[in-house]
Amino acid sequence: MTYQTNESLWEPEHQIFRQTVRDFIAREVDPNVDAWVEQYEVPRSFYRKAAEAGILGVDIPEEYGGPGGDFLHRLVIAEEIGYSVSGASMSTSLIADGTSEILYRSANEEQRRRFLPGMIAGEYLFGLAITEPDSGSDVSGLRTTAVRDGDEYVITGSKTYITQANTADAFMVAARTGPDAGSKGLSMIIVEADRPGFNRGRLLHKMGTKASNTGEISFDEVRVPVANLLGEEGKGMRIALGGVNMDRITWPLVAHAASQRAFDETVEFVKNRKGFGQTIFDFQNTQFKLAEMKTELAVGRAFLDDIIRDYKANGTLDTMKCAMAKIWLPEMEARVIDQCVQLHGGAGYMDEYPVSRLYTAARLHRIFAGTTEIMKLLIGRSL
């Protein structure tokens, strides 16, 4: 099974890269993902191999060690990891590489040279630490502080639900540097995990995406040089939101590809499964459900293609359209994959069938990178 993408959207170089990603998933991910689920993370060697395949930091220029691709290469990765059943377990581990794009966009020359080559070689992992125990969607409530003391910041606070909490070598941390309330007082500061006072907390057990660690980190008066500030003081949320915009096209693409995979698996399953003297496919109910799903998939894909065409024409992502995609595609995914599980009967509840894994992974897509409700809030405010 392969993801049927709209050929006219992509340049030949993206289609060649798509095959590279497919081969990489088949060779390095599919045979190992069950072991990674047991370990609750992907090993370091995975990142090194992804780097060798040219999949990490794919849009970072060659002078910083990147393969020199463009943002569309990132979207190809999202589609392919979304369509792979392994992606249901580990997509967050791979797409966490979005931190390299955030770092490249917001870092100064010295910071780029210090961090990007290691990240792109798969030797140095970064996490993005915004969410706190008492504040997630509402960033104005973030409490972690970074107090200036000479040439250093002293960072105190805690973060939760952080992807790569257990493994990252450094984190981009949203911390309050100024007295301003709300998001204006927030800055983004790099904190290396080997600094005194940095602690890793609990590893959190999740319903899906288990080949990826998510957990807690905390800062007990961690001192970092002022040279670790990304961009300007008070502009931290602008940096984070740049990355979030990228996530709001990436995760809708994952959602679409995963729904398409569940649909393709389901068509095959119902054509083979028999009941009442015919196949499950032969019931009109099944064909009506499949027809509804195929229609939803086509509508969703048309919207994604529209956003990608806009990006190709203007070089920027349309914030409102990305917010709409972040609502509609994961909601569509929920409807489609739920129906696919139903058409599988008991098999759909068993992890050995792809739809079971796709179902639990899909639940995440409505929650992170901005919940459905927060996307509605953004769109509502723009009216």
Ligand X SMILES: Cc1cc2nc3c(=O)[nH]c(=O)nc-3n(C[C@H](O)[C@H](O)[C@H](O)COP(=O)(O)OP(=O)(O)OC[C@H]3O[C@@H](n4cnc5c(N)ncnc54)[C@H](O)[C@@H]3O)c2cc1C
Positions touching ligand X (CB under 6 A) are: 127-131, 136-138, 161-163, 206, 209, 214, 364, 367-368, 371, 373-374, 377
Distance CA(244)–CA(352), nearest Å, equals: 33
10, 14, 19, 23 alpha-carbon torsion, rounded to 10°: -140
Helix 87-95 to helix 236-272 angle (10° resolution) is 160
Smallest gap, in angstroms, from Cβ of residue 14 to ligand X?
Answer: 27
Smallest gap, in angstroms, from Cβ of residue 327 to ligand X?
Answer: 11
Q: Which residue has the tokens 């805690």?
A: 158
Residue whose Cβ sits closest to ligand X: 136
Smallest gap, in angstroms, from Cβ of residue 163 to ligand X?
Answer: 3
Which of residues 53 and 364 has its CB atom nearest to ligand X in the complex? 364
Which of residues 85 and 244 has its CB atom nearest to ligand X in the complex? 244
Cβ neighbour number for residue 209 with a 10 Å cutoff: 23
Which of residues 173 and 290 has its CB atom nearest to ligand X in the complex? 173
Smallest gap, in angstroms, from Cβ of residue 240 to ligand X?
Answer: 8
Distance CA(309)–CA(9), nearest Å, equals: 7
**Per-residue b or e along 133-169, where b marks 16 or more CB atoms closer than 10 Å to that residue's CB:** eeebeebeebebbbeeeeebbbbbbbbbbbbbbbbbb
Which of residues 136 and 197 has its CB atom nearest to ligand X in the complex? 136
Smallest gap, in angstroms, from Cβ of residue 351 to ligand X?
Answer: 18
Contact at 8 Å (CB) between 192 and 224? yes
Contact at 8 Å (CB) between 317 and 326? no
Smallest gap, in angstroms, from Cβ of residue 343 to ligand X?
Answer: 27
Which of residues 226 and 374 has its CB atom nearest to ligand X in the complex? 374
Which of residues 65 and 252 has its CB atom nearest to ligand X in the complex? 252
Q: Which segments of 211-283 does DSSP mark as H helices, in order? A: 236-272
